[in-house]
Structure 1
């Protein structure tokens, strides 16, 4: 399910911003983008996210800055500085030019000093990260719940439409056998060219066809699947995979009904029903 949540918190001069974005995906795929010095927290962050998320592609963006006086660390490359000094002395000895190097000039020489963020307080970083993650997840959850309510309303409406198609098909179920009997009788009369039709054999053929084209079980299962789908929509636990399975079964039942009859009205309802099932299938890709 798509959603977005963010949090920005500053504690003791350390500021962190966390953004969480989720999009549709069959499985749970978490991608965390963070400063290198926070890599030691990545596995714990994944475990924390998995407690709240079970499906979707999850993008986590972590930005960090510090206003503390000890936020920066200056590192002098002493071997390199000694090499610069030795080179300067050699120049002086060979050219007679006075050595005017100062400490400030030495520090400006290429690669003489480097600057690093001082982030050695791992406990402080951990507290800041998980406080932000918790707040961002709350905002994400609220956004996803709002979208979920809209999806549920749309899916329920489509399920009601499917039930109306099922009722229409059920009302035509008895017509299937009658239409077949009439077509079979007309065909036999044409072949026999006016001769008397063997009513017993005709009845046997119609009975055989009636058993083969019976769609009562499919109609019952369709109603049951719709009921299960609606019940899943009321659950508070992740139902995406369960709904995926129910949609497959709905489609299967409509296909079976379509294969058992040539009645135009029933086939029209089958096509319409499959259309609604496909729209539901697209929608539940957004559901965790």
Structure 2
């Protein structure tokens, strides 16, 4: 089952203290380009989450934002270390007296800004909160993958339809090519009669050269290979795993056969059909850019 690389997922989990919301946005990319925004308290979980993203999301330009909302606002409040504050203040007061300055009004502010006097609870998280965040992340990924699967089904239907169109056009090539060889023969024969004269043409040599020339213009192999590539493409669309890269490789092979078909056709009707094939193939390639 193919999936789209474009997707959106939102997961939220909370307890009596805090609520974590994880938002995931994904766009197409050849590789996994991950932009992860985590609260400071979970910086030690970044490698874990990146590993999970690599396993569950696989590819795409992915932006993940984690936001924190405290259910109990007192839980988000800062904590003041009163003893440390007093200690800093006394030292600053002693220094001010020693220097005989009267800047006592600023001492409290200076002491308050000293290291580790004020700590924020949001800078610390216990294992329960870590499990809560991971649960919200998994919920967001699940929604993202469902979004990708739904988009992928739309892509699958479109890709299948366009591949069937190429096969239909190939059938048209087979229906109009029956008169191709006689036309080539008549055109060359007429040209020789006009330029060197019918009586001066060596019939045996003409037949030998004509056979060699027509053999170079034979498109049987190209038709067989193109039909085979199209059928293989349709089989890959129905496969259980996501295989956007594989589909891209097959489409390249389809393009080679279509180009060769056009260059060897030497027939206006076939070349018009080949233009239609190329148009469908270009649309297929555009869609494959967004397939996981």
For Structure 1 versus Structure 2, the TM-score category normalised by the shorter chain is 0.7 to 0.9
Aligned ranges 1:247-266 → 2 under 5 Å = 247-266=251-270
Worse overlay, 273-282 or 192-201: 192-201
- Asked whether the equivalents of residues 85 and 112 of structure 2 are also in contact (C-alpha less than 8 Å), the reply is no
Runs of 4+ in 1 over 6 A off after TM superposition: none
Residues 10-36 of structure 1 deviation map (CA, whole Å, 9 limit, x = unaligned): 124121110111101111222211122
TM-score, normalization by structure 2: 0.87
Residues 213-249 of structure 1 deviation map (CA, whole Å, 9 limit, x = unaligned): 1111111111111111111111221110001001101
Is residue 73 from structure 1 mapped to residue 79 from structure 2 by the alignment? yes
Is residue 48 from structure 1 mapped to residue 52 from structure 2 by the alignment? yes
Higher relative contact order (CA 8 A, sep 6+): 2
- Asked whether the equivalents of residues 73 and 118 of structure 1 are also in contact (C-alpha less than 8 Å), the reply is no
CA distance in structure 1 between the partners assigned to 2:11 and 2:251 by the alignment: 37
CA distance 1:118–1:255, change in 2 (3 Å): closer
Residue 33 (structure 2) aligns with: 29
Residues 169-221 of structure 1 deviation map (CA, whole Å, 9 limit, x = unaligned): 12233433222211110111112234253221221112112211111111111
Residue 106 (structure 1) aligns with: 108
Worse overlay, 204-213 or 237-246: 204-213
TM-score, normalization by structure 1: 0.88
Paired residues, number: 282
Residues 251-279 of structure 1 deviation map (CA, whole Å, 9 limit, x = unaligned): 11011111112211111111110110010
CA distance 1:85–1:48, change in 2 (3 Å): same
Is residue 179 from structure 1 mapped to residue 187 from structure 2 by the alignment? no
Residues 100-156 of structure 1 deviation map (CA, whole Å, 9 limit, x = unaligned): x8xxx9368762553423544442232012101111111112211111111111111
Residue 197 (structure 2) aligns with: 193
